[in-house]
């Protein structure tokens, strides 16, 4: 695991001091070592968190004649098998690292080298003979990669802050990205909050040559033949997850597990224990019952016999770390669960350097309540008393608890006049396209077609396949961003066994009845857990999520600072509308937590980075 960055100058040689400044900004991603490659107008750099071949795997790494050089962030899990095959073809290796596999594989397969990789990665390869730079990002988007092609230079980095540390890069807000952020609560690929900077989309490669760049998609979700019999489906998933966990346990340092007690992390822990013996598991607990799920983590830890390490936090601790975490996030990002994710990462880093987690299970196997909510909406639309239900919802008392009844009912009803992906996005996000008109001063300049974005992102797959929609948007640009930033802030590597490409395509091809059945999410994973004799209270538990009490914070702890930020934001927002939303929330007239938090986080980001 590392942080990487680089520059290709178009009119001068690389300034080493600027490249070093960019690299230094990524220190947290790789505190163990740094490395540079500078060849006239081309410069690559890396910060290394040593996991594989601790002493020999320094970056950048070159091929035998030194004409191909790479810097790389992530892990190639099948590097042992790839190395053996490359050695049979005559390649000579100088290290035992997974990084060196990349340069030799590129020698053999050219730009198609990514097809052979099973891993999480952001890769930069410079081919000196062809004077060509290649960037590649993994299939699901576990590792970030930003880039910009300017008149005087091409630039890339693992994090936006690295690019912004280059004094030649201007800091102007991309207003269309701001609109997407306000609707989705995150900024989706290929957009970034800064004009001229983009994210390389997951499953894509970029080729830069002679001042121009082209982007190609190398990964498509692929339908494969899957069993129709439930028993055979369980057996196949059992095999796939076991194999995935096995290669993700490859490490020259200790590996632990984030154990929430949810279905996904419980399964990952089961296979790790069976494959690796005594495993350390990590969880944090909260003093607020509606947000705490430590009970289930303890049940699973006791059942599997892990060395379970837990730390309890109150809301004051999260408020204490809030400014530090927010200052580290270099794009507006409104998922508040990054705070507890940071805390559990910090806890784990005291014991291990690598953790496995359950990320991806919800999107691939149907874990979110929104999936059966769509089915429920189809029923709701034909009932004769829906107007009565709607009127009752308006008199429900507002609660600031985690996913309270009034919050869920009112959020559900927001989608009653929408269809398909529009309804899904509305349920998952903060503002609607129509609501942006009420709050944005530069509304016309910030307008963007959500329909165009969704069709470009999800095609050629069905945009109303909500599993695919979440895999390509919410997972890639919210969940995985949260895990990457929170873990990397603590110099901790987080691996996701559910995002093995074999599991991804299997889950994509699996019939929906194996995912959501009779308003029950993750049907087949629950059956798999049952086949392993897991406790029933774990198998049957509902989805909880890793939340924090932001509704309460906004009313009590953060009210004054939010009001102050809102009052001084008149260049972008209509302050009277923001003030109205805040008053409604504080006075328990409306639960505006998602909208208020989304705007507040943007204003905090602007203060830190512009």
Q: How far is CA 193 from the centre of its chain?
A: 16
Active site residues: 2
Q: How many Cα atoms occupy the beta-carbon half-sphere of 71 within 13 Å?
A: 28
DSSP annotation of 543 reads P
Sign of CA dihedral 498, 502, 505, 509: negative
Separation CA 180–CA 182 (nearest Å): 6
- Per DSSP, the residues of 334-367 read --TTHHHHHHHHHHHHTT-SEEE--TTHHHHHT-
Residue 541 DSSP symbol:
P
C-alpha distance from residue 493 to each of 282, 362, 528 (Å)? 14, 21, 27
Give dist(CA 36, CA 423) in Å, integer. Answer: 48
Which residue has tokens 């008053």?
583
* CA distance linking residue 361 with residue 356, whole number of Å: 13
C-alpha 427/C-alpha 159 separation (Å) is: 29
Extract the tokens encoding 425.
Answer: 């996005």
Phi-psi region of 558 (alpha: psi -120 to 50; beta: other; left: phi over 0): alpha
Cα separation of 373 and 368, whole Å? 9
Nearest CA-CA partner of 115 in 100, 127, 105: 105
Backbone angles phi, psi at 46, to 5 degrees: -150, 150
Asked if 430 contacts 183 with a C-beta cutoff of 8 angstroms, the reply is: yes
- Helix, strand or coil, per DSSP, at residue 326: helix
Residues 6+ apart with CB under 8 A from 342: 321, 325, 486, 489, 490
Burial of 383 (0-12, 13-18, 19+ CB in 10 A): exposed
- What the block records as the tokens of 118 is 């099973």
| Number of residues assigned to the chain | 610
Distance (Å, whole) CA 80 – CA 125: 20
């Amino acid at each position: 695991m590392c942080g990487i960055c680089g520059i290709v100058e178009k009119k001068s040689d690389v300034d080493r001091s600027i490249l070093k400044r960019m690299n230094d900004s990524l220190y947290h991603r790789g505190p163990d070592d740094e490395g540079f490659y500078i060849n006239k107008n081309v410069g690559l750099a890396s910060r290394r968190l040593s996991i594989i071949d601790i002493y020999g795997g320094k970056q950048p790494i070159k091929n035998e004649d030194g004409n191909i050089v790479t810097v790389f962030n992530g892990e190639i899990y099948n590097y042992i098998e790839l190395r053996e095959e490359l050695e049979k073809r005559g390649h000579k290796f100088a290290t035992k690292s997974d990084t060196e596999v990349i340069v030799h594989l590129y020698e053999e397969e050219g730009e198609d080298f990514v097809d052979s990789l099973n891993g999480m990665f952001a890769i930069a390869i410079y081919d000196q003979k062809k004077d060509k730079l290649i960037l590649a990002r993994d299939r699901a988007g576990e590792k970030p990669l930003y880039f910009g092609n300017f008149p005087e230079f091409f630039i890339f980095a693992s994090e936006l802050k690295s690019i912004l540390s280059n004094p030649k890069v201007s800091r102007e807000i991309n207003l269309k990205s701001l609109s997407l952020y306000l609707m989705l609560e995150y900024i989706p690929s290929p957009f970034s909050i800064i004009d001229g900077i983009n994210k390389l989309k997951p499953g894509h490669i970029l080729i830069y040559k002679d001042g121009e760049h082209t982007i190609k998609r190398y990964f498509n979700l692929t339908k494969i033949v899957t069993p129709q019999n439930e028993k055979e489906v369980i057996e196949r998933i059992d095999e796939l997850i076991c194999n995935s966990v096995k290669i993700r346990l490859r490490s020259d340092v200790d590996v632990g597990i984030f154990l929430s007690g949810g279905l996904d992390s419980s399964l990952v822990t089961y296979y790790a224990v069976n494959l690796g013996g005594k495993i350390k598991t990590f969880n944090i607990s909260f003093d607020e019952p509606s947000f705490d799920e430590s009970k289930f983590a303890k049940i699973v830890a006791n059942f599997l016999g892990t060395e379970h390490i837990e730390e309890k936090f109150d809301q004051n601790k999260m408020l204490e770390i809030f400014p530090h975490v927010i200052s580290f996030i270099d794009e507006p990002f409104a998922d508040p669960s990054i705070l507890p994710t940071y805390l559990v990462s910090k806890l784990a880093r005291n014991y291990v350097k690598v953790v496995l987690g359950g990320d991806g299970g919800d999107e691939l196997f149907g874990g979110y309540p929104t999936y059966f909510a769509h089915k429920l909406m189809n029923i709701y639309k034909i009932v004769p008393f829906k107007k009565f239900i709607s009127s009752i919802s308006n008199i429900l008392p507002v609660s600031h608890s985690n996913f309270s009844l009034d919050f869920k009912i009112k959020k559900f009803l927001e989608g009653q006049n929408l269809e398909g992906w529009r309804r899904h996005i509305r349920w998952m996000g903060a503002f609607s396209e129509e609501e942006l008109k009420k709050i944005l001063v530069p509304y016309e300049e910030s307008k963007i077609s959500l329909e165009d974005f969704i069709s470009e992102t999800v095609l050629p797959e069905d945009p109303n396949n909500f599993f695919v929609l979440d895999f390509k948007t919410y997972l890639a640009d919210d969940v995985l961003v949260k895990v990457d930033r929170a873990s990397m802030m603590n110099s901790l590597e987080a691996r996701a066994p559910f995002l093995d490409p074999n599991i991804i395509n299997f889950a994509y091809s699996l019939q929906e009845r194996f995912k959501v059945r009779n308003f029950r999410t993750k049907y087949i994973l629950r059956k798999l857990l049952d086949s392993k004799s897991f406790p029933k209270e774990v198998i049957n538990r509902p989805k909880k999520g890793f939340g924090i009490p932001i509704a309460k914070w906004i009313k009590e702890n953060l009210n004054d600072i939010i009001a102050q930020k809102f009052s001084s934001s008149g260049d972008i927002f209509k302050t009277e509308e923001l003030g109205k939303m805040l008053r409604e929330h504080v006075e328990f007239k409306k639960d505006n937590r998602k909208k208020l938090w989304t705007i507040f986080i943007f204003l905090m980001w602007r203060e830190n980075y512009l």
